[in-house]
Chain A
Amino acid sequence: MKWFLLFFLLFPAFARAATIEVCKTCEVQAIDDAIARAKAGDIVKVQSGIYAGPLFIDKPLHLIGIGRPVIDGLHKEHVFYLRADDTTIEGFVIQNSGSSYISEYAGIRVEEAKGCRLLNNIFENNTYSIYLAKVDGCLVAQNQITGNAKDEVLSGNGVHAWYSSHIVIRQNDVQRHRDGLYLEFTPDSLVEENVISHNLRYGLHFMYSPGNRYFKNIFAENQTGVAVMYSKNVEMLQNRFEKSWGRVSYGLLLKDISDSRIFGNRFSKNTVGIFADGITRILFEQNDFKNNGWAVNILGNSEENIFSKNNFYENYFDVATNTMSPLNTFADNYWSGYRGYDLDRDGRGDVPFRPMKIFGLWISRYPELVSLLASPVIEFLEMAEKVFPVLTPKSLEDKTPSMKPLTAKL
């Protein structure tokens, strides 16, 4: 009954929506012609072919590409410039936006609009692929986004959201931009199941964007996987951070984040798995850290964070910090470097594990010491420190280290 009512309510809208076809042999041959003829809410179907941009859309439309028509921006301005609510753009190849030091040109720029849907497009060779400015409620899904970023100055981001809210970015493939996804002042958004790789700077970058959720994304071979700054109430679940390997590379870079949850993620082959600077009350649970240089580097200005039930497999350094009195809790984690025993058979080691290696401490203070990496002297010092800790913080320990890996994910 409910659906019936809905149908009847919406029926007039469907009835009014006309369809305009655009192709080389049709009556309407250019897309801007079609846009000019269309009324708000009409459908514009574009058959395959190459069409020139830039295109300006100022009324709600439904643009559908059939057989992947190509819209070429000819290196002028934005390829699509959208200033209308409830508009859909789907099924296009969008290429060659302008490039400029002054303006930020994009494949699709949406400005001051409510409710847009950008679906199943292929973006190639745009400075910014999708730029959302002051947009409320936009779905960006199943796009293949490939940038042309060569240096950080002239290049733009894959999906850029600025002063927007309620954005959903789902199942996109984003690569070779400056930042894969960039959310600034964009709260209450959802980023899920994207594959973000080979970006010059960050896979995902967000600042001042509280209340966002990031689920099941893959960040691979970006300079830094994810950089999260000045935000609250962030949830990061089941993402994979891989192969951010380089001199200033981090899997996940946290700066001034509080009251958030980082759960079930996997960090592998990063120089630093998680780099944390000034984070408060964050729960790190059931993450896997494998083959990283440093699994976690948490600076002394971080407090009341909890690391619990994580797996640390074969990282060069498990945990590093630069303070003698860290205020974070480590409990119930599995450490592949743990050599303790479990006499009472409760699955927890009877002697605490101290994940901080002395060399990890020294090397963060004196980076030149890296020249002694794998030197027998260091190994000896490490052994001495393990027996009789004086130089590493005593409070940084896991009193109940798990004897076995906690999940069988790896």
Chain B
Amino acid sequence: MKKIFNSPVVTIALFEFRENIRNKWLLIYGLSFLIFSGILTYIGTGDPLQASASLLNLVLLLVPLFSLVFGSISFSEALPFHEILVALPISRRDIFLGKWIGLGTGLVLSFLLGMGAGSLIQFNIAQQGFGSYLLLLCLGCCLTFIFLSISFYVVTLARKKELIFGWMLLLWFFFFVLFDVLVFGVVLLFGDYPLEIPVLILMLLNPIDLARVMLLLKIDLAAMMGYSGALFQKYLGNTLGLFIGGGALALWTLLPAWLGLRTFQKKDL
């Protein structure tokens, strides 16, 4: 046990975490969740089901955006520090993972505290629909790590540090807006063919859409979805669906992180 705590990954992660919880941007991030979720829940009916529906787009907008921007800035600004760490007998894997875990934990904690203080305390836990609110929180945490991974990967790839911020905004725009426009276009273009399965696959290709569909299915909007809804419900709605969706989200977390780690290991700092 002691060995784990003494390992460089944990040391770096803890250092990162301590550094981050004092960061004013993380404070603002958490506060914005506190304010928005508090207001949205307060003026709503107090029903967790409805609250999670209205908080959904807030989470889908803020979490990826902030994770991308904050992650990339934090990682790229730490590069000189990493050069010093690399000079010590610490592997690059430990540096990368330590940074990733520490930063992610800080972001997740900030998100959870913000949401929790804003809306969670307004609910009765026994209330029906509380499960969907918990799902929203889980999805928020998943999205944090996913977009953190993506930002790390892009930073390790980027040659010009000055452009990273632009790349991040572009990525966010792609996942949040452009992807849906593409799906929309595909459906309109090929609407004469049965598209349920392709659209389902498309949903798996965008973590933001995936999170949204998973939550909407949980809120039982599936009933509105006709035949397509039945298929979505079948693959994403029930327990099996949670596994498929969760698996896709896990893959989204691990794949960019792994790619980033690989690039980082080979990169000439």
A368 lies within 8 A of chain B by Cβ: yes
Most buried by A among B53, B222, B224, B225: B224
Central interface residue in B61, B200, B227, by most chain A CB within 10 Å: B227
> A291: shortest Cβ distance to chain B, in Å?
10
- Pick from A271, A365, A371, A376: contact of B203, CB under 8 Å: A371
Please report the C-alpha to C-alpha distance between residue A373 and residue B210 in the assembled complex, in whole angstroms. Answer: 12
Determine how close the nearest CB of chain A comes to the CB of B233; give it in whole angstroms. 8
Interface-lining segment among B177-185, B240-248, B259-267: B177-185
Flag if B216 contacts A293 (CB, 8 Å).
no
Say yes or no for A367: interface residue by CB 8 A criterion: yes
In the complex, per-residue mask of B72-90: 1 if CB is within 8 Å of any chain A CB, else 0: 0000000000000000000
Q: Tell me the chain B residues, 186-242 only, with Cβ under 8 Å from chain A.
A: 187-188, 191, 195-196, 199-200, 202-203, 209, 212-213, 216, 220-230, 232
Within 8 A of B (CB), among A228-278: 245-249, 271
Q: Does B57 contact A (CB under 8 A)?
A: yes
CB contact under 8 A between A369 and B187, given known A247-B229, A377-B177, A377-B180: yes
B56 at the binding interface (Cβ < 8 Å): yes
Give Cα distance in the complex from A279 to B176, angstroms.
42
The reply to whether the CB of A374 lies closer than 8 angstroms to some CB of chain B is: yes
- Tally of chain A residues near chain B (CB < 8 A): 24
Contacts of B57 in A (CB 8 A): 374, 376
Q: Which of chain B's residues have a CB closer than 8 A to the CB of A378?
A: 180, 184
Q: In the complex the two chains form, is A373's CB within 8 Å of B183's CB? A: no
Docked Cα-Cα span, A374 to B229, in Å, equals 15
CA distance A247 to B226 in the complex (A): 5
**Is A324 among interface residues, defined by CB-CB distance under 8 A?**
no
> Given the complex, which residues of B lie within 8 Å of A366, measured CB to CB?
187-188, 191, 195
Q: A256 CA to B220 CA in the complex, in Å?
A: 31
Given contacts A246-B223, A374-B57, A375-B212, contact A368 B184 (CB under 8 A): no
Contact between B183 and A293 (Cβ–Cβ < 8 Å)?
no
Residue of B whose beta carbon sits closest to that of A245: B223
Cβ of A376: which chain B residues have Cβ within 8 Å of it? Answer: 57, 61, 176-177, 180
Known contacts A293-B224, A365-B191, A373-B224, then 13 further A-B pairs from the complex at CB < 8 Å, ordered by chain A residue: A246-B223, A247-B225, A247-B226, A247-B230, A366-B187, A367-B228, A367-B229, A368-B195, A370-B228, A371-B183, A372-B183, A375-B212, A376-B57
**29 A-B residue pairs with CB within 8 Å:** A247-B229, A247-B230, A271-B223, A294-B224, A362-B188, A366-B187, A366-B188, A367-B229, A368-B187, A368-B196, A368-B199, A370-B224, A370-B226, A371-B183, A371-B203, A371-B232, A372-B209, A373-B224, A374-B57, A374-B212, A374-B216, A375-B212, A376-B176, A376-B177, A376-B180, A377-B177, A377-B180, A377-B181, A377-B184
